[in-house]
Amino acid sequence: MKTLNRRDFPGAQYPERIIQFGEGNFLRAFIDWQIDLLNEHTDLNAGVVIVRPIESSFPPSLSTQDGLYTTIIRGLNEKGEAVSDARLIRSVKPRNQRLCGLR
């Protein structure tokens, strides 16, 4: 399986406009997913820069994947039909060295 990176999976590049404190699963799977949808369907045009609020290492998968990751939404739609949707999230910018030491 190929590792996600922006060289092998090119796509839209967004300017750094949103600072997000923390990189937890909920933030990435819900908030960043919504920002990604807004980038696609509106003229938002915003990238997310993640700032670590605590002293610990940055998740290696986000670094090695250039900020790219996949969300999978599974459930039932409003008609009760089963749905499964995988989406490559491109709104998160690769680690920004200028902001990583912010306290």
Instruction: Band the pLDDT of 94: cuts 50, 70, 90.
Output: confident
Instruction: Band the pLDDT of 95: cuts 50, 70, 90.
Output: low
Distance of CA 7 to the CA centre of its chain: 17
Contact 28, 68 (CB under 8 A): no
Q: What is the per-residue pLDDT across 43-89, written as a single tens digit (0 to 9) for each?
A: 999 999 988 877 766 667 787 888 999 999 999 999 999 999 999 99
Write down the pTM of the prediction.
0.81
Q: What is the per-residue pLDDT across 3-56, written as a single tens digit (0 to 9) for each?
A: 889 999 888 889 999 999 988 899 999 999 999 999 999 999 999 998 887 776
- Single out the residue of 29, 35, 16, 3 nearest to residue 98, CA to CA: 16
